[in-house]
A and B are shown apart, each in its own frame.
Chain A
Amino acid sequence: NAGVTQTPKFRVLKTGQSMTLLCAQDMNHEYMYWYRQDPGMGLRLIHYSVGEGTTAKGEVPDGYNVSRLKKQNFLLGLESAAPSQTSVYFCASSYDGGSTYEQYFGPGTRLTVT
């Protein structure tokens, strides 16, 4: 099992450019999540999905879009990147949304917007 993988690992964008981050999991998990991590802020939820074809907003959704066309993939898009979106992005998945189920995390994508 590869677990949760993220592509790419690093990226530098100019302000106004767009990009898509790909998250893939091979554990047949229903739930998938996108977080951003900033110094001193912990992890904050951007968007999440409770199953194929569904998405929902998290704590900090503005400036991001997501899609879950296949159960194993969860895409995070930035339509017009801004310097405030410089961050480390983590994808996670869980078997269920019940509170007893742990989330499994990918290795992260470090994004810099100049």
Chain B
Amino acid sequence: AQSVTQLDSHVSVSEGTPVLLRCNYSSSYSPSLFWYVQHPNKGLQLLLKYTSAATLVKGINGFEAEFKKSETSFHLTKPSAHMSDAAEYFCVVSVYGSGNTPLVFGKGTRLSVIA
């Protein structure tokens, strides 16, 4: 079975400083990994995904994530935070070749950006 752990429930950064949201996964197979963002009172939007191609994945709005198999991690980063980045972020894992297995969500990290 696969699982995902988001190591911080809340991260607070100042505008213009780097963002790091941490995610560790557990999977018996080669996983696909996703980061989704949810702005207040909105649905979820895909930021980026890793599907066994390049280990450094670039997403929308300047976010990127690096897949590190040896560390079973998929941390999300952004060089410079913007006020509009304040939202809830979810790390998600899916297992390659598992057929109909739905996605497994982490519990989320709330990002606050201080002016």
Contact = CB atoms under 8 A, between A and B. Distances in A.
Given A97-B99, A107-B42, A42 B108 contact: yes
A106 B32 contact: no
Interface stretch (A14-22, A43-51, A61-69, A70-78): A43-51
Contacts of B31: 99
B106 to A, nearest CB: 6
Interface string A63-98: 000000000000000000000000000101000011
Interface stretch (B12-20, B43-51, B60-68, B75-83): B43-51
A106 to B, nearest CB: 6
* Contact size range, B: 20 to 34
Contacts of B95: 99
A56 interface: yes
Q: Is the interface of B mostly helix, strand, loop or mixed?
A: loop
Nearest to A38: B107
Interface of A: 4, 31, 33, 35, 40-45, 48, 50, 56, 58, 90, 92, 97-100, 102-103, 105-108
Interface of B: 9, 31-32, 34, 36, 41-46, 49, 51, 90, 94-103, 105-108
Given A43-B90, A108-B41, 17 more contacts: A4-B43, A31-B100, A42-B108, A45-B102, A45-B103, A48-B102, A92-B44, A97-B99, A97-B101, A99-B51, A99-B96, A99-B101, A102-B34, A103-B46, A103-B103, A105-B36, A106-B43
